[in-house]
Amino acid sequence: MPVMHVQWDGPFSLEEIADVNDKRHDCGVYQVYGSHPIYGSDVLLYIGKTSDQTFADRLVQETWNYNQDAGNVRCYIGRLAGLKTPEDAEWSHQIDLVETLLIHSHWPAGNSRNIQSLGNHASEIADIHVLNWGQRRSLLSEVSGLMLTDRYNDMPNYHCYGDEENLLEV
């Protein structure tokens, strides 16, 4: 199972994010926290990605300044980490996979159209394991795609140890 490491930094205000602008280094996934009319204040609103532009360039395209408490919107940036930087195409693909798995497992309100869909990555997600390091905020420290896919739908019924008579269904 491929393990992907994400190193999180933050929080950054919308103004501070303008400094996160190194063309080769400042791309990956990000989280946005702020007020939501139903879920309350200071909650995870959105998980996004950028691979062809910096965090600064991408986040200024968002409309977080229209949030009901825009002065308190905070961003966390996640850079993929490992032993060696992959080629750009592979790096971008890994960013896509990480974003898809994080959205699908955390259900941020602002990602409502993508929460239930694994999109083009459904066949790969079961094999992905994401470890979130650093200032990960509300994200789980570990996320695996195994239970989020249909990988075990064809698994025969099983039982709890010591209770062979009561079969459980997946």
pTM for the full model? 0.86
pLDDT in tens, 100-116: 999 988 989 888 765 56
Mean pLDDT score of the chain: 85
Q: Is the pLDDT of residue 37 over 70?
A: yes
Q: What are the structural domain ranges in the chain?
A: 3-168
Six token digits for residue 116: 């239930």
Spatial neighbors of 60 by CB under 8 A, at least 6 apart, are 17, 18
N residues, the chain: 170
Q: What is the pLDDT of residue 64?
A: 67
Longest dimension (CA), the chain: 62
